[in-house]
Homo-oligomer: A and B are copies of this chain.
Amino acid sequence: MSCIRILGIDPGLRVTGFGVIEQHGSQLLYVASGCIKSNDKQSLPERIATLFAGISEVIATYRPDQASVEKVFVNVNPQSTLLLGQARGAAISALVHGGLPVAEYTALQVKQAVVGHGKAAKEQVQHMVVRLLGLAGAPAADAADALACAICHAHGGQGLGALATAGYRVRGGRLIG
C-alpha cells in the first residue's frame, strides 16, 4: 500500500499552523503539528525570515511528499490583507523551495472535506480533526486548521463522501460509531 506524507499549512504572519499526516490507503495517521510564531516587534523581513526558516525546518524534520495550503480570505482591512498575503507568499516559497508540489484549498473546501459542510464552526473542525486522526487531545486552533487542510488534500479536496467510502460512518457532519 502506498504511503503519502502530507504537510498542511494554515498561513499567517503572527501564527502559521502546520500539520503533518500520513495517508496509508484510506487510513490517515497523525505525524506532527504545531505553530510557527513571529514577533510583531520585528521588521517584516525578519518575520518573513522566521516563517520561511520555520517551514523549512518542518520540511527537513518530517520530509513530507506533498503540501496543502489553505487559501486565505481577503480581509476587511486592506493592510491586513497585504500582511497575510506576504505571509502566504513566504510560506509557499518555503514549500516550493523544499521541492514540494503545493495544492491549494479554500476554507470552504477544507470544512466540507473534514466536517461535511462549509459553514462549520472552528470547534467542529477541531473536533473532526481529533476524531479522524484519533488524537488524545485537541491541537491548537492554527495547528488543527493545518491538519484539516492536509486531510482535505488526502481526500482529494472531496467531502465526507470520501470518508464514507473509506468505511467511516457519517451523520450530520459528524463521524458516528
A residues with a Cβ closer than 8 A to B are 43-45, 48-49, 52, 69, 72, 74-75, 78-79, 81-97, 101-102, 104
Contacts and interface: CB of A to CB of B under 8 A. Distances in A.
The A interface, classified by DSSP as helix, strand, loop or mixed, is helix
Contacts of A90: 89-90, 92-93
**Number of identical monomers bound together in the oligomeric complex:** 2
A72 B101 CA distance: 28
Contact of A88 (B78, B81, B85): B85
Nearest to A69: B45
Contact of A93 (B52, B72, B79): B52
Contact of A96 (B45, B69, B82): B45
A87 to B, nearest CB: 6
A104 B85 CA distance: 17
A120 to B, nearest CB: 23
A92 B48 contact: yes
Contacts of A72: 82
Contact of A83 (B75, B85, B104): B85
A93 B48 contact: yes
Given A45-B92, A52-B93, A82 B84 contact: yes
A96 B44 contact: no
